[in-house]
Amino acid sequence: MPNAPLVVIGNANVDLTTYLQRAPERGETVLGQNFSIGMGGKGANQAVAAARAGAQVSFIGRIGEDAFGDMVITALTTEGLELEHLARVPGPSGVASIYVEDGGANRIAVFAGASGTLTQESAAQAVASHTDLKILVSQLEIDQRVVAAALATARAMGAHTILNTAPALAVPEGILRNTTWLIANEVEIATVLGGAGVTTPQEITVDVITAGIEGWALALGCHVIVTLGDQGAIGHVPGDGTFHFSTEPVTAQDTVGAGDCFVGYFAAHLIEGLPWRNALAGGVLAASDSVTRAGAQSSYPKRSQAEQFRNRALDSV
Ligand code: RIB
254 lines ligand 1 (CB under 6 A): no
Please report how many Cα atoms fall inside a 13 Å half-sphere around the Cα of residue 278, on the Cβ side: 16
CA of 305 to the centre of ligand 1 (A): 23
113 lines ligand 1 (CB under 6 A): no
The CA distance from 17 to 285, in Å, is: 24
Please report how many Cα atoms fall inside a 13 Å half-sphere around the Cα of residue 122, on the Cβ side: 15
225 lines ligand 1 (CB under 6 A): no
What is the mean pLDDT of the segment spanning 274-295?
97
CA of 17 to the centre of ligand 1 (A): 11
Instruction: Please report, for residues 36, 160, 189, 190, 226, the alpha-carbon distance to residue 196 in angstroms, rounded to integers and kept in the order given.
Output: 39, 22, 10, 10, 16
110 lines ligand 1 (CB under 6 A): yes
CA of 216 to the centre of ligand 1 (A): 27
298 lines ligand 1 (CB under 6 A): no
For 130, the 3-state DSSP assignment is coil
Burial (Cβ within 10 Å: 0-12, 13-18, ≥19) of residue 27:
exposed
41 lines ligand 1 (CB under 6 A): yes
Contact criterion met (CB below 8 Å) for 127 and 7: yes
What is the structure's pLDDT at 115?
98
Q: How open is the CA angle 151-208-212, to the nearest 5 degrees?
A: 50
pLDDT digits (tens, 9 = 90+) for 199-249: 999 899 999 999 999 999 999 999 999 999 999 999 999 999 999 999 999
What is the structure's pLDDT at 2?
79
Confidence of residue 105 (pLDDT cuts 50, 70, 90): confident
Residue 225: which of 239, 210, 3 has the closest Cα?
A: 210
pLDDT digits (tens, 9 = 90+) for 144-168: 999 999 999 999 999 999 999 999 9
Per cent of the chain over pLDDT 90 is 97
pLDDT at 1 over 80: no
Ligand 1, residues 11, 36, 45, 291: which to mutate, most atoms within 8 A of Cβ?
Answer: 45
- Name which residue sits closest to atom 8 of ligand 1, judged by CA: 41
pLDDT at 103 over 90: no
What is the structure's pLDDT at 260?
98
> Mean of the per-residue pLDDT values for the chain?
97
Ordered structural domains, the chain, with CATH: 42-93+119-315 (3.40.1190.20)
> Which active-site residues does the annotation give?
260
CA of 15 to the centre of ligand 1 (A): 7
pLDDT at 184 over 80: yes
Contacts of 218 (CB under 8 A, 6+ apart): 238
- Name which residue sits closest to atom 1 of ligand 1, judged by CA: 257
What is the mean pLDDT of the segment spanning 277-286?
98
Instruction: Please report, for residues 34, 68, 138, 252, the alpha-carbon distance to residue 146 in angstroms, rounded to integers and kept in the order given.
Output: 36, 23, 10, 34
The CA distance from 177 to 188, in Å, is: 18
CA of 136 to the centre of ligand 1 (A): 19
What is the mean pLDDT of the segment spanning 308-317?
96
264 lines ligand 1 (CB under 6 A): no
What is the mean pLDDT of the segment spanning 71-80?
98
What is the mean pLDDT of the segment spanning 13-30?
97
Peptide bond into 167 cis (omega under 30): yes
Report DSSP letters for 162-200, one per residue: EEE--S-----HHHHTT-SEEEEEHHHHHHHHHHTT---
